[in-house]
Chain A
Amino acid sequence: MAQPAVRHTAESLARPEGWQGIVADWASDQRAFKNVPWGKAMMWVFLLSDTFIFSCFLLSYMTVRMSTTVPWPNPSEIFALSFGGEKIPLILIAIMTFILISSSGTMAMAVNFGYRRDRAKSALLMLATAALGASFVGMQAFEWTKLIVDEGVRPWGNPFGAAQFGSSFFLITGFHGTHVSFGVLFLIIIARKVWRGDFDRNTRGFFTSRKGNYETVEIMGLYWHFVDLVWVFIFAVFYLW
């Protein structure tokens, strides 16, 4: 039996001491994800952990909603807006949904143009994504203001019914809005890098001192699509249920 040549990578590499040794030892494992860059695999692992966080929030919402004996407020009426005297149910939330989906569309195309080295289009599409994201956060701020100031909804109570409505609402949409806000921030940073051509000139990053490449755009995209993905679940189980 011809044995395939097994290379003991851990043995053949130099072994530094101290903190560098810890980093080198932990980084010397075999790759499980063969054709994806480590940054992308790590983003997926982060998103998986974030999935569990949002799952826990939505699950606690399900539990308090199922276990209360007080009637649950009707989101369809609470989130209705009046246009010319006519009340349209849930219209603001619907608009926010379409905005976030559109931002996902522009982000997907930004990733595509990034890989084609079309820097201008990629950066502009990312800025469009950031603008849509910012308008989403703005509408959320409007919605929160309306609920807190005009309707008197608080985390501990509201005039419509079960008190748990407020706490679930502020926790879930607040956490999601924070994710969108940070996404907008990072989108602007990455768009600037693409625009300047940092990834073509191998410029080292400000924080990490590492050379970036266009996979960074795709990794950014993964985060942004995840934010959209979470909204799909919030829209379905919180607003429509």
Chain B
Amino acid sequence: MAHAESQQHPIGIYLAAWGLLFVLSTFSYLVDYFHIQSYLRWSLILVFMMLKAGLIVAVFMHMRWERLALTYAILVPPLLVLVFVGLMAFEADYTVLTRSTFFGTGS
């Protein structure tokens, strides 16, 4: 494994990732353009977002060719942010409940 400069890949794979990112961005824009609403909207937005993020990290940032020690060290910690998301969603629900109880809705 004595090759530190190992990130040498055919240009085609970058062009393919580039094209896919264009297609996925167009799709997520069309979600807004065609006024898709509610849960379908949110799940489509999140799916396209994660696919784009995955493509950028895996291909453009070469993560799929790195050793697992690096991949896990970088990609696992952000997953813990999801716990934070849960906590803040809980907190926000509580805040909006108190606000509507004591100040009434829509003000």
Contacts and interface: CB of A to CB of B under 8 A. Distances in A.
Interface of A: 32-37, 41, 44-45, 47-48, 51-52, 55, 59-60, 62-64, 66-71, 76, 89-90, 94, 97-98, 101-102, 104-105, 107-109, 111-112, 115-116, 214-215, 218, 221-222, 225-226, 228-229, 232-233, 235-237, 239-241
A232 B8 contact: no
A201 to B, nearest CB: 18
Nearest to B106: A69
A169 to B, nearest CB: 17
A241 B45 contact: yes
B40 interface: no
User: In the complex, which of the residues B49, B100, B106 has the most CB atoms of chain A within 10 Å of its own CB atom?
Assistant: B49
B7 A232 contact: no
A85 B92 CA distance: 40
Given A66-B89, A108-B60, 13 more contacts: A32-B69, A33-B67, A35-B4, A51-B81, A63-B92, A69-B99, A104-B60, A108-B17, A115-B5, A233-B53, A235-B28, A236-B46, A240-B45
A36 B84 contact: no
Given A69-B96, A94-B25, A232 B52 contact: yes
B7 A48 contact: no
B8 A112 contact: yes
A59 B84 contact: yes
A205 B16 CA distance: 35
28 contacts: A33-B67, A33-B69, A34-B69, A35-B4, A41-B70, A44-B70, A48-B74, A48-B77, A59-B88, A62-B85, A63-B91, A66-B89, A67-B95, A67-B99, A69-B100, A69-B105, A70-B106, A70-B107, A89-B33, A108-B18, A109-B11, A214-B5, A215-B5, A221-B61, A235-B25, A236-B46, A237-B49, A241-B42
